[in-house]
Amino acid sequence: MNWIDTHAHLYGEEFSADRTVMVERALAAGVSRLYLPNIDSSSIEGMLALEAQFPDNCFAMMGVHPCYINENVEQELSVVREWLAKRPFKAIGEIGLDFYWDTTYREQQYHAFRSQLELAREYNLPVAIHSRESTRECIDEVKALQDGRLSGVFHCFSGTLEEAKEIIDLGFYLGIGGVVTFKKSGLDKILEDIDLQYVVLETDAPYLAPVPYRGKRNESAYIPLIGEKIADVKNLKIADVAAMTTNNALKLFKTH
């Protein structure tokens, strides 16, 4: 079976002791493509180094994560623009809004999100959207700029069934990760009513490891565990979940 991890921060310091072995573990588990969302200007070097080490398996995105937006927002956005002009990337990401940790830079977050959605239209690239405690707001921002040129994924989807349907109507995918394996997440109930053609799998490694690794460091090799849970929820064969979510991810990142 062939799997894709559509969202993993594998260049992070959490993997500094065993990064190469960890990626090889993912490949051995059948997870053949690993998409790397950027954080900010400080993470670019490590991300591109990992892509260079595994050019057939690791694929970089370019963007500024909302949790790293501050008064230097214009400087960070200019770095994003410079890199997009310099070489190709698979997506604009990780972008969005986060009102869970801190809302000090709320207006700067909105500005960065809108600016990067416009870059996605300009470069005809999908977006990876972070929407923690801001699903409604992120949907509204996408809706305001959707002219048929925006596509992407609401990474680590945590909204309602109604919001899921709105996201799908906008032409976007739902990114489902380890949270679906958590007993009280409620995500399994939502997935019962969502066609798998709108779902892609992700780890968000090193965060949100699925059961039985919950609370430990996450890694891309655990994607099949997420697939197993979805197969159980949807009453499907795991091979069908692998095939469909992989096909969805290839469409998302315009690889066929």
Residue 129 identity (one-letter amino acid): I
Residue-level pLDDT at 239: 98
Question: Which tens digits make up the pLDDT trace of 52-65?
Answer: 999 999 999 999 99
The torsion region of residue 115 among left (phi > 0), alpha (psi -120 to 50) and beta comes to alpha
65 annotated ligand-binding residue: no
Query: pLDDT, tens digit, for every residue of 81-94?
Result: 999 999 999 999 99
For residue 256, give every residue at least 6 positions away whose Cβ sits within 8 Å of its Cβ, in sequence order, or none.
250
Is 9 assigned a ligand-binding role in the annotation? yes
The H-assigned helical ranges of the chain are 19-28, 44-53, 73-86, 106-123, 135-145, 161-169, 187-192, 223-234, 238-252
Residue 130, annotated ligand binder? yes
Tokens of 215: 């609370």
Domain boundaries, the chain: 3-253
> What's the pTM?
0.97
* HSE (side-chain half, CA atoms, 13 Å) at 92: 28
- Name 131's bridge partners: 97
Secondary structure of residue 235 in the 3-state scheme: coil
User: Does the annotation list 155 as a binding residue?
Assistant: yes
Q: Is 231 left (phi over 0), alpha (psi -120 to 50) or beta?
A: alpha
| Domain 3-253: assigned CATH number | 3.20.20.140
pLDDT at 94: 98
